[in-house]
Chains A and B, each alone.
Chain A
Amino acid sequence: MAQLEFTFRKRLAVGGAGFELDIRLDCDAGITVLFGASGSGKTLTLEALAGFLKPDEGRILLHDSILFDSGSGVCLPPQRRNIGYVFQTYALFPHMTVEQNLAFGIQRVPALERRRRIHEMLELFGLIERAGRRPGELSGGEKQRASIARALVTEPRLLLLDEPVRGLDYPLRADFYEILRNVRERYRIPILLVTHDVAEGFFLGDRMAVYGGGRIVQMGTPEEVFHRPHSPAIARLLGISNIFSGVIEELDPMSDRSVLKTPQFSIAAPYLPGRFRGDAVSFCIPREHVALLATGSARSANGRETRIPVRIAEEVFTPTTVRLRLDVVNSPGGPGTPQDSDAMPSGPGSVESEVSRAAYQKMKIAQQKDWLAELPAASIHVFPGQSEPPLGSGLGPRARAERRA
């Protein structure tokens, strides 16, 4: 049994439109990242766990004790849940010193033990010299450390963090990640962290719950979520921009290979078990997996990757990389040529790539517009479930008709 298990439903009236939160999650010790767009219910989940929001129905179990159970009418007040909560704004008591802030939650602990615990926390979070200061005299990073220390000094059974690095500078974020990993090692308790920063979720999470419209739409390790998103919507949320729709043109289980056809190009992908020729599919490929090759390069040797002639349409410089928008060039007779172009609408005719600054310079990308984009079959992720077939695609309906027959 997991240390924290909960399932609940809550209907809320948000500006006339109803919003339903319907969450089910089990967490063990370690960091579970709640990831999703603003307004998808992440903070509401923390509030329900902490006891600020009473669900309409459901159950919250923490270490075998019932915090909430609509069936038996149990609803512990926040004071009796023993949960540490680190607020987005830190919520330190502004009229108290750091030391008094820490002491607030452990008034009933004997004085000697109380002093020992406070001192230990101050030391752990590098706040010894700030003990006598008020929050107004602390830096952003110190405030954040003080608020985590205040939550942990009570020895909670669960730690909730609501976007803790929002408003912190980048070096301070790195410090915070370090601190949080230490906390994770030291306290073997479930930690729930709300974020809408992909990198942060990827970096910190032992598990990741992706939120969408008040539900958890995908759950897994950050690696799984990032490389095998369940839907195009989740992929977009994760910042994946190369999302295409097409139909399965070839399926070859013997060589573990398939070919997916979009209006602009055909692409080699791994074999898709449980799918049929002609099925409509959506798929994606992370932009950092799209490589550039000089136009004169030899054709793909083993069919494990697809090379598409492209022309650089846009270059966006980030501090460490260059993002390239590549328009697919439909040379007559080439591999990217649509077979029945009269019937095909223009879909997403471009692919995005991201190369390091070093590669950008070494390959002299700035001086050359025409390239071959190489898309490795192994990097193609086909979303589970059927997608709408592209309009006018001749293959799809016919193949489906064959299947029905």
Chain B
Amino acid sequence: MWNTLAQIDWFPFWLSLRVAVIATAISLVVGLALAYLLARHEFRGREVLDSVITLPIVLPPTVLGYYLLVLLGRNSGLGRGFEAVFGFPLVFTWQAAVVAAAFHSVPLLVKSARAALESVDRNIENAALTLGASESRIFFQITLPMARRSVLAATVFAFARALGDFGVTIMIAGNMPGRTQTMAVAIYDAVQSGNTLPANLMVLIISLTAIAILYATNRLQGERLL
């Protein structure tokens, strides 16, 4: 048993963790900006934008992965741009796994953060306006602190989602052990090749993490905003 444990390749675990942390950080910035835009600004096509952002939640991961492959592939404009700036192609690298994870966590974050920001009493923001505060000061000193619990809960949730992506990752990052193989992909690989022990262990780790995260988010959301 301990022998087997020692033989297990921990690379997928660390890669998943790294991918999820970076993807969550990116989604937090992008997601909060989009959520604020949707919650506090009225513009044409606001709900269309909301639908487009939500799309990754309902699309099959392979479809989303295919879109991204076309969009970010070496022959696309975006893909060439990335290659020109960073010196390597984006697809089939661990960075592509970050993109895949972010595309899953951004919609979750936007959805929850929009609701959280909208739940902040508009009059409190208006009061801050009459006191001379700029929009950005109101966001960082009033709105965000007041919605912080819900935003934190949404972030933890987004992290969980980023940790477990399979479909999009395998489409655009591939399954290269030691390079792009995240835990979800590694489990698939292990089961396919009959290595039940590492599969069981990784399933256990992911399950426990998921339960811990769900418990944490429920605790965060269960309490009042303040």
Q: CB within 8 Å of B: which residues of A?
A: 50-52, 77-85, 87-89, 91-95, 104-105, 136, 147, 150-151, 154
Contact = CB atoms under 8 A, between A and B. Distances in A.
Contacts of A136: 226
A91 B123 contact: yes
B78 interface: no
A105 B146 CA distance: 18
B127 A154 contact: no
Chain B interface size band reads: 10 to 19
Contacts of A89: 121, 123
A263 B2 CA distance: 106
Given A94-B146, A95-B226, A78 B123 contact: no
A87 B124 CA distance: 9
Interface stretch (B7-15, B129-137, B180-188): B129-137
Output the residue of B126, B127, B134, B141 with the most chain A CB within 10 A.
B127
28 contacts: A50-B126, A50-B129, A51-B129, A77-B129, A78-B126, A78-B130, A79-B129, A79-B134, A82-B132, A83-B130, A84-B130, A85-B126, A87-B126, A87-B127, A88-B123, A93-B142, A93-B146, A94-B226, A95-B146, A95-B226, A104-B131, A104-B133, A105-B130, A105-B131, A105-B132, A105-B133, A147-B127, A150-B131
B177 interface: no
Contact of B128 (A83, A84, A104): A104
B129 A78 contact: yes
Given A79-B132, A104-B133, A85 B146 contact: no
B53 to A, nearest CB: 28
Nearest to A156: B130
B145 interface: yes
A246 to B, nearest CB: 48
Interface class of chain A by DSSP: loop
Given A85-B130, A105-B130, 11 more contacts: A50-B129, A50-B130, A79-B133, A87-B127, A91-B124, A92-B127, A94-B226, A104-B131, A104-B133, A136-B226, A154-B132
A360 to B, nearest CB: 45
A92 B146 CA distance: 12
A84 B226 CA distance: 26
Interface string B110-127: 000000000001011011
B185 to A, nearest CB: 42
Interface string B141-165: 1100110000000000000000000
Given A94-B146, A95-B226, A85 B127 contact: yes
Given A79-B133, A79-B134, A154-B132, A91 B127 contact: yes
A42 B131 CA distance: 22
A91 B121 contact: yes
A52 B122 CA distance: 11
Contacts of A150: 127, 131
Contacts of B146: 93-95
Contacts of B126: 50, 52, 78, 85, 87, 91
A290 to B, nearest CB: 44
Contacts of A78: 126, 129-130
A31 to B, nearest CB: 19
Contacts of A151: 130
A366 to B, nearest CB: 49
A78 B132 CA distance: 7
Contacts of A52: 126, 129
B127 A95 contact: no
B127 to A, nearest CB: 4
